[in-house]
Structure 1
Amino acid sequence: MSYVKVCALADIAAGTALAVEVDGTPVALARTAGDEVFAVNDVCSHAEVSLAEGEVENGTIECWLHGSCFDLRTGKPTNPPATQPVATYRVKVRDGDVYVSLGSED
């Protein structure tokens, strides 16, 4: 599986998200207050808007438009109106940089 460098860790403040693109795929990077970094598809499965513009709290990212929340570990919606999950991606933080892999392990 290949990882792509997407930004510096310092580019994502704790408790916020950042929109990036990996090989043409929109990705929302979310940094929790506990300093964990997660990557999910940046398109809400309900309203097709950027999740990176939403709030990051308690291990979820909230869509700013209708309030759907998605679990950052699984991508599953934790409340309506969304009923479909968003894809999650692997993340590595190394030497102050954030790397994302869209692929699965071989």
Structure 2
Amino acid sequence: MAALSAKNDVFQAIADPTRRKLLKLLSKEEMPVTVISGHFPMSRTAVSKHLRVLADAGLVKERKVGRETRYKLEPEPLVELKDWLQYFELFWENKLSALKLLVESDEQDV
């Protein structure tokens, strides 16, 4: 199964709501898995699996401090996501402009 051995990309990594919450949590400070798992209604093993997916995508870095592993957000890979979403902003802007024109024209008809 090549898909299992391949590293996760940013899009796969953020697809899961738990992993998105992990990213938000880690955006504030570096934390060990014991502290991180206290924020989630799941086992430490489950949290570690989510952290592994994020690490494989380059979204979190881990470092050993004594016997514990600490995790922190690495935001650089999110640029790929930002660039992809930026393309679609054109469509959002066009829809908002059209809505503005529609609302303003309705106001003039009143």
TM-score normalised by L of structure 2: 0.22
Between Structure 1 and Structure 2, the one with more strand by share is 1
Q: Larger radius of gyration, structure 1 or 2? A: 2
TM-score normalised by L of structure 1: 0.23
